[in-house]
Amino acid sequence: MAKLGRRTVAASSGGTQRPIVRRHSVPSVLLTTAVLVATSAFAADTLDPNALKRLVHQDCGSCHGLSLKGGLGPDLRSETLEHYDADVLTGVILDGIPDTAMPPWRPLISEEEAEWIARYLLEQEAQ
Ligand code: HEC
Interval 90-120: pLDDT, tens: 999 999 999 999 999 999 999 999 999 999 9
CATH number at residue 66: 1.10.760.10
- CA of 39 from ligand 1 middle (Å) equals 20
Domain span including residue 40: 30-123
- Report the distance separating Cα 58 and Cα 42, nearest Å: 15
- Report the distance separating Cα 79 and Cα 40, nearest Å: 32
What's the pLDDT tens digit per position in 11-48? 444 445 455 445 554 445 444 444 444 444 444 468 99
- pTM, 2 dp: 0.69
What's the mean pLDDT when you consider all of the chain?
Answer: 77
**Residue 67 C-beta-side C-alpha neighbours within 13 Å:** 4
The pLDDT assigned to 68 comes to 95
In a domain, 42, yes or no: yes
Ligand 1 pocket, CB under 6 A: 59-60, 62-64, 72-74, 76, 89, 92-93, 97, 100-103, 105, 117
- The CA radius of gyration of the chain, in Å to the nearest whole number, is 18
In a domain, 18, yes or no: no
Domain count, the chain: 1
In a domain, 100, yes or no: yes
The pLDDT assigned to 31 comes to 46
